[in-house]
């Protein structure tokens, strides 16, 4: 027995805020005519099968601004069809899909494919990440550890003051991190909260007893606790900012003094909600061009006229968390190591 599932044709008007996109859409040399969406696919991954510039996904789908913020139309089993006769080419979902009994499709919101790999960014979706100076001072704190251990990992017991009878069963453990300093002006935009792990209350009281159920770093006396909120999965289709935006990478988010990153690393950016940045925005990464003395000048190197080399684009990031003045993005593509101070701008 075969089961038919009907999907609506996706054919939407191109948004005017994409007007500054440069050049024609470039299809992959081996772009398929049809593709069946698989479990584990992402919008970005599917885009790379069709486009050389996957961040221009929204143009080939003709999504408008509202649909970009809720692209819940693509599920495992959907058949994506490439229409090469259109200018520019267009992707649609076949109206009728016939599936064998071994393939079951239930179009529930929970099954819709995400924009980018969920397993990488999920731990960052419900964490505060950015706090004000001394913003964790009033949060519940770990005052002792099991058998007075210096550090705890998963499976260890901790004792905390400040939880009281809150009723919150799950808490995230943080440690105040380094200041996020704007590379352009030197202003401190906030302070990073370093996520250490998750703890579950096993006995209420003052102090309360907590079991460490997950740990990314060692947990110690003095670390702070924040109620674990539900993760809000980012399903925004990749799209550029509404207007041209240019900023810089502040740092790599690792909790460590790492100076360089690459694909799948997370970076903080010195632009946020007040600058017009939003979840799902795509930004290009550029390395600032160096200034060199004119090699034909007869003057000494320190007096010779300088030549400013052009900025070189080498990667792409996907913004998945936005605060007022700071945002966090996942590096999707990178042809060289990404460093703090590198430029990010509208692609």
Confidence of residue 319 (pLDDT cuts 50, 70, 90): very high
Number of compact structural domains in the chain: 3
* 240 within a domain of the structure (yes/no): no
User: Higher model confidence: residue 259 or residue 258?
Assistant: 259
CATH at 263: 2.40.30
* 239 within a domain of the structure (yes/no): no
Tell me which of 90, 117, 144 is where a domain ends.
117
- In this structure, the answer to whether residues 292 and 325 fall within a common structural domain is yes
- In this structure, the answer to whether residues 131 and 212 fall within a common structural domain is yes
Average pLDDT over residues 232-261: 77
Average pLDDT over residues 93-106: 50
Prior bond to 88 cis, omega within 30? yes
- In this structure, the answer to whether residues 284 and 331 fall within a common structural domain is yes
Is the pLDDT score of 219 beyond 70?
yes
- In this structure, the answer to whether residues 64 and 152 fall within a common structural domain is no
For residue 79, the model assigns a pLDDT of 84
Is the pLDDT score of 31 beyond 60?
yes
Calculate what percentage of the chain has a pLDDT beyond 70. Answer: 78
CB hemisphere CA count around 55 (13 angstroms): 23
* 260 within a domain of the structure (yes/no): yes
Calculate what percentage of the chain has a pLDDT beyond 90. Answer: 29
Helices (H) and strands (E) in the chain, counts: 4, 20
**Domain hosting residue 172, numbered range:** 127-227
Could you give the 3-state DSSP secondary structure of residue 122? helix
- In this structure, the answer to whether residues 113 and 7 fall within a common structural domain is yes
- In this structure, the answer to whether residues 134 and 104 fall within a common structural domain is no
User: Higher model confidence: residue 105 or residue 290?
Assistant: 290
Average pLDDT over residues 250-254: 81
Q: Please provide the distance, in angstroms rounded to a whole number, between the alpha carbons at the two ends of the chain.
A: 48
Is the pLDDT score of 225 beyond 90?
yes
Rounded to two decimals, the pTM is 0.71
- In this structure, the answer to whether residues 7 and 92 fall within a common structural domain is yes
* 122 within a domain of the structure (yes/no): no
- In this structure, the answer to whether residues 148 and 201 fall within a common structural domain is yes
Is the pLDDT score of 52 beyond 90?
no
For residue 54, the model assigns a pLDDT of 82
Is the pLDDT score of 284 beyond 50?
yes
Q: Are strands 246-252 and 266-269 parallel, antiparallel or unpaired?
A: antiparallel
- In this structure, the answer to whether residues 19 and 107 fall within a common structural domain is yes
- In this structure, the answer to whether residues 76 and 107 fall within a common structural domain is yes
Is the pLDDT score of 91 beyond 90?
no
Confidence of residue 288 (pLDDT cuts 50, 70, 90): confident
Lowest mean pLDDT among 96-100, 147-151, 304-308: 96-100
Is the pLDDT score of 140 beyond 50?
yes
- In this structure, the answer to whether residues 20 and 112 fall within a common structural domain is yes
* 50 within a domain of the structure (yes/no): yes
| Mean of the per-residue pLDDT values of the chain | 79
* 285 within a domain of the structure (yes/no): yes
- DSSP letters spanning 293-341: E-TT-SS-TTTSPEEEPPPEEEEEEEEEEE-SS-EEEEEEEESS-B-TT
- In this structure, the answer to whether residues 146 and 222 fall within a common structural domain is yes
């Amino acid at each position: 027995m075969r089961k038919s599932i009907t999907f609506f044709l996706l054919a939407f008007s191109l948004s005017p805020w994409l007007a500054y996109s440069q050049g024609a859409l470039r299809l992959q040399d081996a772009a398929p005519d049809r593709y069946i969406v698989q479990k584990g696919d992402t919008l970005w991954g599917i885009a790379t099968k069709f486009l050389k510039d996957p961040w221009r996904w929204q143009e080939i789908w003709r999504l408008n601004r509202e649909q970009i913020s809720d692209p819940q139309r693509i599920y495992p089993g959907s058949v994506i069809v490439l229409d090469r006769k259109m200018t520019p080419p267009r992707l649609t979902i076949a109206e009728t899909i016939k599936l064998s009994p071994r393939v079951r499709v239930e179009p529930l919101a929970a099954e819709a494919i995400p924009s980018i790999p969920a397993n990488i960014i999920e731990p960052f979706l419900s964490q505060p990440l950015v706090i004000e100076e001394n913003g964790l001072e009033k949060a519940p704190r770990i005052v002792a550890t099991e058998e007075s251990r210096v550090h705890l990992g998963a499976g260890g017991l901790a004792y905390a003051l400040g939880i009281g009878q809150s009723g919150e069963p799950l808490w995230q453990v943080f440690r105040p991190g380094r200041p996020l300093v704007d590379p352009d002006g030197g202003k401190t935009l906030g302070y990073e909260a370093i996520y250490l792990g998750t703890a579950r209350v096993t006995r209420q009281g003052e102090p309360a007893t907590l079991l460490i159920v997950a740990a990314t770093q060692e947990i110690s006396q003095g670390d702070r606790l924040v109620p674990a909120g539900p993760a809000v999965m980012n399903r925004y289709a990749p799209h550029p900012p509404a207007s041209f935006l240019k900023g810089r990478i502040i740092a790599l988010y690792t909790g460590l003094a790492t100076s360089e990153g690459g694909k799948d690393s997370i970076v903080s950016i010195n632009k946020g909600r007040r600058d017009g940045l939003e979840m799902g925005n795509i930004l290009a990464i550029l390395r600032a061009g160096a200034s060199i003395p004119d090699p034909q000048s007869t003057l000494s190197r320190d007096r010779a006229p300088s030549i400013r080399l052009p900025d070189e684009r080498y990667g792409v990031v996907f913004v998945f968390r936005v605060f007022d003045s700071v945002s966090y993005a996942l590096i999707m593509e990178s042809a060289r190591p990404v460093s703090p101070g590198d430029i990010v701008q509208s692609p």
